Structure 1
């Protein structure tokens, strides 16, 4: 049971980590090399990794999606999708796809004369399943060595931790005030029942002993 318990805890922790890793904003320092638009099929299970910015998109099996091509500092390629999130999840309230695509076009550069930019995005990149992170912001920086502090993530995770600790304290207080006294009463009542049962058992054993002793008085008596 110990292995089952820790396996279950591990799976829950992994799911929670994956949820926040996918939805919280991430920042990449990249060089923009191109933009393009391509029609994407949305009929399979990977639809969950594409935005649904309006009611109409929920009924479409394919649609045109804009993409931003980039190269990371270490030379690895990266491709971002550029979709509005609208009022849906995750709550980035992004409505400026066209403006973001224009900013990306303006930041295009070559290897010989690079322009570096920070792309803020959420989501994952998977070449196997054709999954792309969604760019939600972009701005130019002077150097690829820029230091980025994820203030949004720090604030969100800190608030979440405070909420969890508050709920934990409330549950602990509720347990001490409401549940523990009931359990103590139940335990006392059970102890009393056991004590009465033991006393009744002792009484029964006493009666049985006296009965057996009385029967013993007939042993050895001569028959008439």
Structure 2
């Protein structure tokens, strides 16, 4: 049971971590090298993509904006640029067209780089054709610019507080309700055992007297 308990707890922790890592905003400092509008036919991985742009009809085949970027070390990254609308995650993004225009304006070359902080959520996975969704763009002084994730700090601090309060409520409930009930049940069982022992001893004594045993 101990191994089963820890397996369940570790699995639950991994699921929560993956959910938060995918959903919470992250910021990359990159150089934008291009944008494109690509026709995509969404299949099994469609739940990793946002809903169609606000005001358009739902479809598994649609045009999607992309932002192509390069990290300071030369590695590449591609971001999708989709509205999230009123759905999940709750970024309420409805300006993908405007963001695409901003991305075009922020394009630069290696000789005259413009470093841009791209805030996004999601993962990049080439095997399953998954792209992070860009939420906002802003110019920064350089590739070493320091970005403090205030939103993540506030959200994670709030979740930690909620978990702490839930743990305290459970500890108090266990102390006031469960432990006394367990102790009472154990005392009842012990009392029943003592009564059974006395009854057994009484029956044994009766048989001994009946058959003249000493």
List alignment gaps of at least 5 residues for structure 1.
217-224
Q: What's the counterpart of residue 18 of structure 2?
A: 18
Deviates more, 1:6-15 or 1:74-83: 6-15
What is the CA RMSD across the aligned residues, in angstroms? 1.7
Taking a change above 3 Å as real, the CA distance of residues 56 and 211 of structure 1, as seen in their structure-2 partners, is farther
Q: 2:124 aligned with 1:125, yes or no?
A: yes
**Aligned with 1:189: secondary structure?**
helix
Q: What's the counterpart of residue 91 of structure 2?
A: 92
CA–CA distance in structure 2, aligned partners of residues 12 and 167 of structure 1: 16
**Aligned with 1:213: secondary structure?**
coil
Q: 2:112 aligned with 1:113, yes or no?
A: yes
Structure 1 position 133, deviation (Å): 0.2
Structure 1 position 184, deviation (Å): 2.3
Query: What do residues 99-144 of structure 1 show as CA deviations (whole Å, max 9, x unaligned)?
Result: 1111111110001111000000000001111110000011001110
**Aligned with 2:144: secondary structure?**
coil
Q: What's the counterpart of residue 219 of structure 1?
A: none
Question: Given the two structures, how large is their TM-score scaled by the length of structure 1?
Answer: 0.89
Q: 2:185 aligned with 1:194, yes or no?
A: no
Query: What do residues 134-173 of structure 1 show as CA deviations (whole Å, max 9, x unaligned)?
Result: 0001100111001111111111011001001101111111
Q: What's the counterpart of residue 168 of structure 1?
A: 167
List alignment gaps of at least 5 residues for structure 2.
none
CA–CA distance in structure 2, aligned partners of residues 56 and 179 of structure 1: 55
Deviates more, 1:132-141 or 1:168-177: 168-177
Q: What's the counterpart of residue 34 of structure 2?
A: 34
In the alignment of these two chains, the number of paired residues is 213
* Runs of 4 or more consecutive aligned structure 1 residues displaced over 4 Å after TM superposition: 53-57
**Aligned with 1:74: secondary structure?**
coil
- Alpha-carbon contact 2:30-2:70 (below 8 Å) kept: yes
Question: Given the two structures, how large is their TM-score scaled by the length of structure 2?
Answer: 0.93
Q: Which has the larger radius of gyration?
A: 1
